[in-house]
Each structure stands twice: as structure tokens, then as C-alpha cells.
Structure 1
Amino acid sequence: MPSCGTWRRADQGVRAALLAAGSCEVELVEPVRSDTGVARFLDSRGEGLHHLCFESDDVERDLERLAATDVTLIDARPRPGLAGRIAFLHPRSCAGVLVELATPAEPVRLPVTPATLEVVHVAVESVHETAAGYQNLFGLIPGPAPPGESVVQLRLGRVVVQLAAQSRTHGRSGLAALGLSAPDLTDLHDRLARHGVPVETIAGGLVVPPAATHGVPLIFRRAEASTDTPARA
């Protein structure tokens, strides 16, 4: 994943970097003060997936719409952030997921990348209730449904948000893993192995365990041709 730049936000007490992953960006965040939300997250949960960001054409308009539906807002008004004008929604209104809305200051232009973010895996208590809520709140549309009642896929452009029951993921509610595609899994496996990164081979893909990726499980599948749609995660 090529870097799109690094920043230090003194007002938020964090240092951050953006990595391109196809039509999306992966944000790395490090606290530089102990009194920040990111620092408290690390103290309580350790390294891992922190939040999910949706790009908005008008974050202020979306905040007004969401406030009218009794969504709990962390930010009642947009504020400056790494992704432009941003605002956060409380996890209690988003099935345990901290959600960011962002309106970029200018159009996002990302470099071509060998790895593409395809799926954001989310563990939830109630799959179908959460699916209905995400459709209403964020305009996600139903995607191809995996077999069984414990998984639902929602699509935003080319990115899938996959909701799975906690019993299936053996974890707590919240962001659980990232699914990426790569054109050559054999080459990827060999490159990771040369760098001493543990890799597990699964049917049709590879898994890099969270111990090797700062708490974020990575699931790689072979890339398929598709169109790009700007998004962040």
C-alpha cells in the first residue's frame, strides 16, 4: 500500500498516515498525547481497527439528517480533520462501530495499487437489525448474500461491509478484519514470507494474523476486475 502522506494534528493529539488501497484509504493513527480518544482506545483494547469512515458530499447536511433520526453524534458540527471536514458518530448508534463522516477539501485522487480493499468485516450482535440500520443511516445497499443467516453483505460502490454474528467471529461487536484483493497470491505469499511475516493459506486466499499486523487481521483474495468508487475505511 503506497503512502499518500503523513500528518500531525496537534489539535487532536495524533500523528497519522494514509495508505492507498485501491479506491479506498487505510488510515494509521498514533496518539502523541495520553488524553486523546485514540490513546484511551489503545489502553483499553490494544492495537486494531479503530473506526470506519464514509465519504460524504456534505457532512453538515448528513449530520442534520442523522440527528433527526436520534443518532448519537460525537460531533454536532463538522470540524477540520485529516480527511477534510469530519464528524464522528457514537458507536452505540452504529452497532459498536465508531463511524466517521468526511467531506474532502478537494477530490480524492489515489495512486494505482497492487492491493485493493474489498471487504470490511464487522462483528455484530444482530446481523439483520444492523443491516437495516446501516441501509437507513448510510445508504448501503444489499450485496450478494453468503449462505446462512449469520452473515449479511452490504455494498457501497465496490466495497462490501460484511456483517457477521459475534458467535461466528468469536469476538465482541465492532470492526473485525479487512479483506483485500491482490493480483498474484503466490507472489504475495512469497514476498511476505521473505520478510518473516506469518501467512496462513486458506481456500482461495491468504490470511495474515493480527499479531503480525498491529492487531488487524488481513484476508487476501485473488483480484477480480471491477470499477473504482471513492471510499475510506
Structure 2
Amino acid sequence: MILDVHHVGLAVSSMDEALALYRDALQLPLVKEGTVPERGVHASVLAAGGSYLEVLQPFKGESDSPFRTHIDEEGEGLHHLALWSDNVESDVARLLEAQTPLADDHPREGFTGRLSYLMPAAFDGVLLEVVEPEELLNGRAPAGAGGPWQITRIDHVVLRVPDVQKVCDRFQQLLGVSTKRTFERGGMRFAFMRPGDVVIEVIGPLEGAEPGTGRIAGLAFEVKGIDVLASSLKATGYPVGEPHPALQGGRIVSVHHSGACGVPLAFIDFADSPRP
């Protein structure tokens, strides 16, 4: 059974630059770091509420790493979405029974726990992973540093896909994750699912697009003290906009992907506005 979003995986060219933003500027606690020789990467895991970021930098000169391939072909940034399983053996068995294309037909030990990657074709181009996390990464990480602002959790992850209904159907049929609401605006279809605390937002054109071109398109954190955070990031030289009203309530501000290791990054503050 899928319980929540466990982590969002980033493929980056420089671990130092990534940690300068996510650990130092955003004050997310670093809870695990090391190397994964069989995947050709340095890895760091940072906590954001009950979920995590997994930051992966290919070894220098490593050409066989799938993360190097991703960076070479698509640039650095959002790589995979890992779903929190309470029994990865059972979930993978169900995926196999449904003839879902998997990169790992059998769960294996990974950096964050026992896991299996799906092939991108399973969700129209979006790379998903199911993981039964190790004890260290079970959602009970220390809170970030206190102060005039604080990131409290991952609020939502955006998937941009060619066929929203098709992807929503697959989430329901293959993973038991149901769609909570949908709407259409400006030629786009929007769907929202919430397997646990983190919202998965699926968007795509009403007329459809080329199959297999789906991707993880954005990451948003909930924050307290959005104005202070925005000022702090600006003072450090990050390309951040101005806080403004968000469609879902509260106020939102974005950091351009060029200053966030390729990640379209947003922060939303629901102060004086209840979370949807």
C-alpha cells in the first residue's frame, strides 16, 4: 500500500551547489550522505517535514550512471518521485501482475531503503520509484532550524504529462492512489491526488500531447514566514520573485530553476488562509 510521497530525487552536477541551497540557504536537515558505487553517484538525503529530498551527483568521469545520462540528455534537476510503500514486495508483485514495465523486477536494497524503479513508460514518461524506507528515513527526522521563517514540509509535486486522465487511471489501478479533484482552465486539465501528506498535482493539455513525454515539472514547499525567506534568498543571490496570492490560497513565491540546480522551486505560506 502507498502511504505518501517518501522523497523527490534530484540529479545534480554539483553536490556542493545543491547543499549550499537546500541545506544551508533553506536550512533543511541533512540526515544521510554517502556514495552508491553501483549507481555511480554521491548521495545526500535532506528532510522536509515527514518527506525527503534525495540529491544525487554522478561521479566525475562516470559515464554509465543513469543519473549522468539524465543530466546529459535532459539537464540537471528533478529526476524521480519515490512513493512510500508499507510493503514493497507486495506492491511490486501487484505491478508485475498488471504487466507494468519495471526497471527492477524485484525490489533491491537502495540508498533510501528497499526499492524498485518503474520504467518511465509506465507513467507516460514520469519516472517513479516505490520504496519501503530504512528506519533512519521513516519520517521522524529532526525539524529544521527555527527562526523568523521555516520550511515545514513538501506541499506538492507537479507532474506534467501528455494525458492527465491516463496517468490518473494508472495511479488508481496500479498503486491504489485515487484522484481527489480535477478541473480545467486555459486549455489545461489539472488533477490532484493525496496518498498521504504530500499532494501530487498532475497537469496536461486538454488536447493531449506526444505520448511518453511526461516529466516531474515542479516542487513546492510549505513555509512559515514567506517574506523573510524571500528576502533571505535574494540577499544570498538566488533568483527569487515576489510573494503573491496563490490560486489554492495563501501566498507563493518561486525560485527560477537556473538558481536551484535545475529545479522549478516554489514556496507557499498558508498563514491566515487554511490549507486546501
User: Where does 1:115-154 land on structure 2 (aligned, <5 Å)?
Assistant: 115=151, 116-146=153-183, 148=185, 150-154=189-193
1:218 aligns with 2:255: no
Amino acid across the alignment from 1:48: G
- Give the match for residue 223 of structure 2: 182
Residue of structure 1 in register with 2:11 after alignment: none
- Equivalent residue letter for 1:44: E
Contact 1:48 1:215 (8 Å CA) reproduced? yes
* 1:29 match: 56
Distance (Å, rounded) in 2 between the aligned partners of 1:128 and 1:19: 32
Corresponding residue number in structure 2 for 1:111: 142
Judge conservation of contact 2:155–2:199 (CA < 8 Å) in 1. Answer: yes
TM-score by length of 2: 0.76
Q: Which residue of 1 aligns with 2:78?
A: 49
Q: 1:11 aligns with which of 35, 38, 60?
A: 38
**4+ runs deviating over 6 angstroms:** none
Aligned to 1:162: 201
- What residue identity is the alignment partner of 2:54? E
- Counterpart residue type for residue 128 of structure 1: Q
- Residue correspondence of structure 1 range 93-112 to structure 2 within 5 A: 93-106=122-135, 108=138, 109-112=140-143
Distance in 2, matches of 1:56 and 1:200, equals 36
- Change in Cα spacing, 1:59 to 1:150, as seen in structure 2 (3 Å) is same
User: What displacement does 1:179 show?
Assistant: 1.2
Aligned length: 225
The answer (yes or no) to whether the contact 1:16–1:29 under 8 Å persists in 2 is yes
- Cα pair 2:104 2:118 within 8 Å, conserved: yes
Instruction: Please list the CA deviations of residues 137-177 of structure 1 after superposition, one character each: whole Å capped at 9, or x if unmatched.
Output: 22223234455461001111111110111589x99521000
How far, CA to CA, are the matches of 1:69 and 1:136 in structure 2?
Answer: 9
Residues 214 and 20 (structure 1 numbering): CA distance in 2 closer, same or farther, change over 3 Å? same
CA root-mean-square deviation: 2.2
Question: Structure 1 residue 59 and structure 2 residue 100: aligned?
Answer: no
Gaps of 5+ in 1: 227-233
TM-score, normalised to structure 1's length? 0.89
In structure 2, distance between residues paired with 1:104 and 1:127: 29
Q: Which amino acid aligns with 2:259?
A: A
The whole-number CA distance in structure 1 between the counterparts of 2:215 and 2:79 is 9
